[in-house]
Amino acid sequence: MNDSGCIHLSNFKAAKGTNPYKIVHAFFVSCTSFEARRYKATSCLCFTCGQPGPRMHSCLHCIFFACYAGHIQDHSKSKKHFLYVDLSYGNIFCAQCQDYIYDRELTEIAMTHRLKEAKSLGINVPFTPWLPNNNEAMALRRLRKRRLISPHTTIGLRGLQNLGSTCFMNCIVQALIHTPLLRDYFLGEKHKCKAQGTGKCLVCEVSKLFQEFYSGAKTPLTLHRLLHLIWTHARHLAGYEQQDAHEFFIATLDVLHRHCMNGVEDTEKKENGRCNCIIDQIFTGGLQSDVVCTSCSGVSTTIDPFWDISLDVAGPGSLQACLERFTRAEHLGSGAKIKCSNCRAYRESTKQLTLETLPIVASFHLKRFEHSSQIDRKISAFISFPAELDMTPFMSSHRRAVDVGADNNNAPEGIFEDNRYSLFAVVNHLGSLDAGHYTAYVRQMKGSWFKCDDHMITRASLREVLDSEGYLLFYHKTVLEYECDVS
């Protein structure tokens, strides 16, 4: 495919440049301002039949709108104007070639306009696929040995040696390696470390680990270096005794987060002060706590960031039931009175937790280990969990909609966002509290599951995954939304 379109478009650009396309696209395709949207709504009619379509096009040579039902062809024959812009998608149609023409420069103009349109409307930026620039395209042509992903590929699958009760670490590493956006970030070499050469950056070590996993080699890896760095920066985990996989997961995210912040530019900070490192972009959500005074119904709301959700396991049940209990309003009782700002006195209250914002990766910790002054035990009750999970019932926006009895026409903003998630990793604990072993299931691609038991990797079925006991559950958002950050 030619990056500069056909010869007719090239000749037009050489004579008149890209300004005609910019004007048409900004006013009649992307509509980058309120004025443009009003102008398109009132003036975008076929000059021949007076209708708004079908498939309205604009002539690039002159001011002329025509629908595709023969009228642009008539204009082309009478005026000898051969280039038109499709006003629905911004594509260029060449009447001489009788085809739509791709042009990289015009595609980049269109992308810029779409970003401006999203900002003008206050909506998320629509997804656009990656387009290689000239240097990247040349590199791809030079690279003859490309690794192709087939339904039976094993690229990205490698066992991990147990260094002495380090199965807890191996399982968390497998889950992180198979987190799609984290994989894309590190394989895209996005991390730019300011502490290069010191050997103390965990993010650099994880970046190397991703390269090892996706190198195509199949021999098991030994994670001496990673373990040492974790011990150095999270000393409570140091030692070769068995550790809790959940505690290791949180500690690893914390160290990665801190090292990301040490190695990124100041522009990685958002205006509201929230960290915008890759860890927080993927794993951070917002947990809303509403405390309601039982006397005056005054509400005190706080929103705190979270990396995972720990759920009580009361007995056999389901993940959805655990989440329902987690987000259920709880009466705090007379022994936990809170000073009400309205009543100016200590009152009884209720407290309810809901999810204000969802992370890209939702991580659930089923609290199977019970520690008390009387007994330490493991709760092995079966908790079912789905391959596909809808988080809408547990959202703050959903609760507000239920409280006001909203329907489709007056529901609060955000209630109809897509909150579906897909399971991609499960960490299991086998055995007792004193003598146990961790294994993991990871999804390599859609419908392709593998069991990771230290150095051994074996194929697994989805039914085998869903029938497992489940200790840590990792879900990835099905539909990603992109924020508009264009100034």
Tell me the catalytic residues: 167, 437
State the DSSP code for 234. Answer: -
Q: Where are the alpha helices (DSSP H) in 44-85?
A: 71-79
Report the Cα–Cα distance between both ends of the chain, in Å, rounded: 33
Contact 233, 256 (CB under 8 A): no
Please state the separation of Cα 396 from the chain's center in Å: 20
Beta-bridge mates of residue 472: 365, 427
For 392-437, give the secondary structure using H, E and C: HHHEHHHHHHHHHCCCCCCCCCCCCCCCEEEEEEEEEEEECCCCEE
Contact 389, 416 (CB under 8 A): no
Q: How many residues does the chain have?
A: 487
Query: Position 231: which residue type?
Result: W
Pairwise CA distance, residues 31 & 25, whole Å: 7
Between the CA atoms of 242, 248, 249 and 254, what dihedral angle is there, to the nearest 10 degrees? -170
- Classify each residue of 56-74 as buried b or exposed e, where b means 16 or more C-beta atoms within 10 Å of its C-beta: bbbbbbeebbbbbeebbee
Helix (H, G, I), strand (E, B) or coil at 323: helix
Contact 95, 12 (CB under 8 A): no
| Furthest CA-CA distance within the chain | 93
Pairwise CA distance, residues 229 & 240, whole Å: 14
Pairwise CA distance, residues 200 & 237, whole Å: 17
Contact 203, 193 (CB under 8 A): yes
CA 119, 121, 122, 127 torsion-angle sign: negative
Q: Name the residue with tokens 């970003």.
A: 115
